[in-house]
Amino acid sequence: MLKDPAELAASGSAESSACEYFPSGELLIADGEIIAVGPRGTLASADEALEVVDHGSSLILPGFIDCHVHYPQLDVIASYGEQLLEWLDRYVFPEEAKFADEDFARSTAQEFLKELLLNGTTTALVFGTVHSQSVEVFFQECEKRRLRMIAGKVLMDRNVPEALRDTPASGYEDSKVLIERWHGRGRLRYAVTPRFAPTSSPEQLAAAGKLLDEYPDVYLHTHMSENQNEIQWVSELFPEAKHYLDVYDSHGLARRRSVFAHCIHLQQDEWARLGDSGSSIAFCPSSNMFLGSGLFALSKAKQSDIPVGLGSDIGAGTGLSCFHTMDAAYKTQQLQQQSLSPLQNLYLATLGGAVALDLDDKIGNFQAGKEADFIVIDLAATPSLKRRLARAATIEEKIFVLATLADDRAVKETWILGEKLSERAR
Residue 246 touches which of Zn ion, ligand GUN, none (CB < 5 to 8 A by kind)?
A: none
Between 69 and 417, CB nearer to ligand GUN: 69
Per residue in 65-97, is it b (16+ CB within 10 Å) or e — as a string? bbbbbbbbbbebbebeeebbbebbeebbbebbb
Residue 259 touches which of ligand GUN, Zn ion, none (CB < 5 to 8 A by kind)?
A: none
88 binding ligand GUN? (CB under 6 A)? yes
Site string for Zn ion, 52-81 (x = CB under 5 A): ------------------------------
Residue 88 touches which of Zn ion, ligand GUN, none (CB < 5 to 8 A by kind)?
A: ligand GUN
The least distance separating ligand GUN from the CB of residue 371, rounded to whole angstroms, comes to: 29
367 binding ligand GUN? (CB under 6 A)? no
Between 115 and 313, CB nearer to Zn ion: 313
Phi-psi region of 225 (alpha: psi -120 to 50; beta: other; left: phi over 0): left
Distance, CA of 210 to CA of 252 (rounded, Å): 8
Binding residues for Zn ion, total number by CB under 5 A: 1
Distance, CA of 346 to CA of 264 (rounded, Å): 21
70 binding ligand GUN? (CB under 6 A)? yes
327 binding Zn ion? (CB under 5 A)? no
Who contacts 81 (Cβ-Cβ below 8 Å, separation ≥6)? none
Helices 202-214 and 168-182: angle between axes, nearest 10 degrees: 20
Phi-psi region of 417 (alpha: psi -120 to 50; beta: other; left: phi over 0): left
Between 238 and 415, CB nearer to ligand GUN: 238
Per residue in 396-410, is it b (16+ CB within 10 Å) or e — as a string? bebbbbbbbbbbbeb
Distance, CA of 231 to CA of 248 (rounded, Å): 13
Site string for ligand GUN, 304-333 (x = CB under 6 A): ---------x--x-----------------
Range in contact with ligand GUN (rule: CB under 6 A) among 50-58, 84-92, 132-140, 418-426: 84-92
Range in contact with Zn ion (rule: CB under 5 A) among 161-169, 172-180, 290-298, 313-321: 313-321
Give the type of residue at 32: G
The least distance separating ligand GUN from the CB of residue 56, rounded to whole angstroms, comes to: 39
151 with 181: CB under 8 angstroms? no
Who contacts 230 (Cβ-Cβ below 8 Å, separation ≥6)? 84, 85, 196, 198
For the segment 200-259, give every residue that binds ligand GUN (CB under 6 A). Answer: 223, 226
Between 84 and 142, CB nearer to ligand GUN: 84
Number of H-type helices and E-type strands within the chain? 18, 15
The least distance separating Zn ion from the CB of residue 153, rounded to whole angstroms, comes to: 15
Neighbours of 420 (CB within 10 A): 11
Distance, CA of 206 to CA of 117 (rounded, Å): 36
Between 263 and 379, CB nearer to ligand GUN: 263
* CA 183 to chain centroid: 18
Distance, CA of 272 to CA of 358 (rounded, Å): 20
Between 65 and 416, CB nearer to Zn ion: 65
313 binding Zn ion? (CB under 5 A)? yes
Between 230 and 313, CB nearer to Zn ion: 313
308-310 vs 148-152, strand pairing mode: unpaired
Neighbours of 232 (CB within 10 A): 10
Residue 226 touches which of ligand GUN, Zn ion, none (CB < 5 to 8 A by kind)?
A: ligand GUN
Distance, CA of 65 to CA of 11 (rounded, Å): 23
The least distance separating ligand GUN from the CB of residue 101, rounded to whole angstroms, comes to: 19
The least distance separating ligand GUN from the CB of residue 363, rounded to whole angstroms, comes to: 25
The least distance separating ligand GUN from the CB of residue 88, rounded to whole angstroms, comes to: 6
The enclosing H or E element of 323 equals: helix 322-334
Residue 84 touches which of Zn ion, ligand GUN, none (CB < 5 to 8 A by kind)?
A: ligand GUN
Between 159 and 250, CB nearer to ligand GUN: 159
Distance, CA of 168 to CA of 310 (rounded, Å): 30
Selected binder of ligand GUN within 59, 84, 308, 372 (CB under 6 A): 84
Selected binder of ligand GUN within 280, 287, 304, 312 (CB under 6 A): 287
Between 92 and 402, CB nearer to ligand GUN: 92
Contact positions vs ligand GUN (CB under 6 A): 70, 84, 88, 92, 195-196, 223, 226, 287, 313, 316
Footprint of Zn ion (CB under 5 A): 313
